[in-house]
Amino acid sequence: MTDDAIRIEGLTKTYRGTRGQPDKQALKGIDLTVPRGSVFGLLGPNGAGKSTLINILAGLVVKTSGKVTIWGFDQDANPRQSRASIGVMPQELNLDPFFTPRGALEVQAGLYGVPKSQRRSDEILDMIGLSDKAEAYARTLSGGMRRRLLLGKALVHRPHVLVLDEPTAGVDIELRQMLWANVRKLNAQGMTIILTTHYLEEAQEMCNEIAIINHGELVAQDSTANLLGRLDARAMVIVPDAPVATLPQADGIEAHVRDDGALTLQYHSQHTSAEQVLEAVRAAGIRIRDVKTEEADLEDVFLALTAGR
């Protein structure tokens, strides 16, 4: 048994063109490893191949070539064991409107072969905050409640790996906080979490490792800290004593005034020191009331790795 929850080697997926359209290669030889016990971010722009990759992991899409191993089980040699090792909370609200939450969990557990004596429907309903709606038809649930139920369905067979596909898209703050509390709890219990999201601040806060794919190719995989460290962009924000009349001028420094009157000076720490920035400010005759520095965030890294590709 390796230290990888998931290992992907040379994964490709080509969709056949129809009506004279050319074939589309959605994944182009992806090599990817997800460490056990991690909260792993899978990021990329729309159409990058994230959904195709997730659907292959879930066994919903057949890969064209490559090797996928989930919790030590080769997807081709041991398809049942590999599928039993992973649970997926999809982005789409695909629920039968005539099932109750308890009924939906019971059916899902039955599909995975979980004996009745080992089912945890009431425990899961309590965790996702739907105990009081256990016997309500799914069609009467709000959108947020339905999304909670999708999480519950993904957990019925005690998977080692949980995939959350855009779990907070369009949800309110209360549901988002509940979801992240559950993610932290499950991860603390040893579950590996894979998260796709367009909210990069969430990925930066939640994930300890991140992979970025674009046009079906892996463009980066590293710890969140190392990814942020790839960019040495800095911004010094200065609150002046009086409105700025002349912007500081110096090589390697870009200056502009914000709407609130604060002065922002952008620079790269490898080439320009903070002292040089301050010298340029003093040379422009600007008296400083307050100052702070800002570092690059995950959005900056994401844009730098995907722009122009």
Closest CA to 253 of 271, 240, 266: 266
| Same domain assignment for residues 176 and 206 | yes
pLDDT band at residue 160 under the 50/70/90 scheme: very high
Residue 306: inside a domain = no
Per the confidence metrics, is the pTM higher than 0.85? Answer: no
| Same domain assignment for residues 280 and 203 | no
pLDDT in tens, 190-202: 999 999 988 888 8
Query: Is the CB of residue 288 less than 8 Å from the CB of residue 237?
Result: no
Does position 296 have pLDDT exceeding 70, yes or no? no
Read off the CATH number of the domain in which 246 is found: 3.30.70
Longest dimension (CA), the chain: 77
Residue 307: inside a domain = no
How far from each other are the two terminal CA atoms of the chain, in whole angstroms?
37
| Same domain assignment for residues 217 and 239 | no
Reduced DSSP (H G I as helix, E B as strand, rest coil) percent helix, strand, coil of the chain, to 5: 35, 30, 40
Query: Token pair 């369905």 is at which residue?
Result: 153
Does position 216 have pLDDT exceeding 70, yes or no? yes
pLDDT band at residue 302 under the 50/70/90 scheme: confident
pLDDT band at residue 271 under the 50/70/90 scheme: confident
pLDDT band at residue 37 under the 50/70/90 scheme: very high
- Both tokens of 226, joined, read 């190392």
Give the residue-averaged pLDDT of 179-184: 92
For residue 309, the model assigns a pLDDT of 54
Q: Considering its fold, how many domains does the chain have in total? A: 2
| Same domain assignment for residues 206 and 287 | no
| Same domain assignment for residues 170 and 261 | no
Read off the CATH number of the domain in which 128 is found: 3.40.50.300
Q: Are strands 209-214 and 73-74 parallel, antiparallel or unpaired?
A: unpaired
For residue 272, the model assigns a pLDDT of 87
pLDDT in tens, 93-143: 888 888 999 999 999 999 999 999 999 999 999 999 999 999 999 889 988
pLDDT band at residue 80 under the 50/70/90 scheme: very high
pLDDT in tens, 85-101: 999 999 888 888 889 99
- 258 or 5: whose pLDDT is higher? 5
Query: Is the CB of residue 53 less than 8 Å from the CB of residue 213?
Result: yes
How many beta carbons lie within 10 A of that of residue 291, not counting itself?
17
| Same domain assignment for residues 74 and 219 | yes
Q: What is the 8-class DSSP label of residue 275?
A: H
| Same domain assignment for residues 219 and 260 | no
pLDDT band at residue 232 under the 50/70/90 scheme: low
Residue 114 Cα to chain centre, angstroms:
29
Per the prediction, the chain carries an average pLDDT of 90
The Cα 108–Cα 120 span in angstroms is: 11
| Same domain assignment for residues 100 and 122 | yes
| Same domain assignment for residues 282 and 204 | no
| Same domain assignment for residues 223 and 261 | no
How many beta carbons lie within 10 A of that of residue 254, not counting itself?
12
Give residue 290's domain range.
231-295
Does position 21 have pLDDT exceeding 60, yes or no? yes
